[in-house]
Amino acid sequence: MSPSFADFQSLQRIFPFQRTTDDGHVRIGLVQLASDFTLENEWRQLLGERVELYSTRTPCSPTVTTEGLRGLAQNLAQSSSLLVPGLALDVLAFGCTSGSMLIGEQQVTRLLSQAHPGVPVSNPWSAVKAALRGLDARRIAVLTPYIGEVNYPLHQGLQQAGHEVVAFGTFSVLDDAEIPRIPAAAIEAAALELLAGQRVDALFLACTNLRTLSLLDALEKRLGLPVISSNQALFWHTLQLAGCVHRPPGFGSLLVDSWGPR
């Protein structure tokens, strides 16, 4: 015969405790796309001991089109509300380069902030532009996995931000799940071919789902210029907004050399 609840209560011991105090860690809340295979795994390589990552997913179209990217706005507020209720976050981030560009930076901030008022918000579009400004990169080359209808507003936005886009390459992939399957060797070869004979200040590798973090140092050495990726720039900008100086080596000069307010 099973013991009654009263019998169980007499068995159970309750212990007092004192709540832990703030441990000084920086806590990032990340909203990433349901189909992103790359961002969280690349960020795990960057975190270190002081930075904690809490992430959730938001619904998205399986194809990367302007219509689908603008549609991401419909679920951002609700997705953000799922981030660790009851735990104070230091900064929020939205993980989609083309989506943050097409939805608009202010709108992304407004939607993510509804459940976390007063917490600063980053996104890859704002982060990349801040990184390029910090590097004083006027003439740039861009390599993306996107189709033309997504690349065109990206090109226009960079031009409007004051950058001269002198070379633009793409793998022209429609299916988001195929983007992380682009091999590192193909990315490196495309970057080298794209920049052959070009004089640029920086190369931008766009898309949080494109696996580029492990390539950045080697590409910078071969090209002799800064190489910025969406995930690298987003991490850098997110920590700046949180007031945290953290310089993980081996993932491009941006994370080591370019610190301070932007």
3-state secondary structure of 259: coil
Whether 83 and 89 have beta carbons less than 8 Å apart is answered as yes
Interatomic CA distance for residues 194 and 102, integer angstroms: 25
Q: Which residues pair with 140 in a beta bridge?
A: 165, 202
- Which has the closest alpha carbon to 82: 59, 57, 100? 57
- Which has the closest alpha carbon to 226: 214, 216, 215? 216
pTM, two decimals, is 0.94
Q: Tens-digit pLDDT profile for the chain (262 aa)?
A: 788 999 999 999 999 999 887 778 899 999 999 999 999 999 999 998 889 999 999 999 999 999 999 999 999 999 999 999 999 999 999 999 999 999 999 999 999 999 999 999 999 999 999 999 999 999 999 999 999 999 999 999 999 999 999 999 999 999 999 999 999 999 999 999 999 999 999 999 999 999 999 999 999 999 999 999 999 999 999 999 999 988 999 999 999 876 554 4
Q: Please give the domain boundaries of the chain with CATH numbers for all domains.
A: 26-123+233-250 (3.40.50.12500), 127-229 (3.40.50.1860)
Interatomic CA distance for residues 125 and 110, integer angstroms: 15
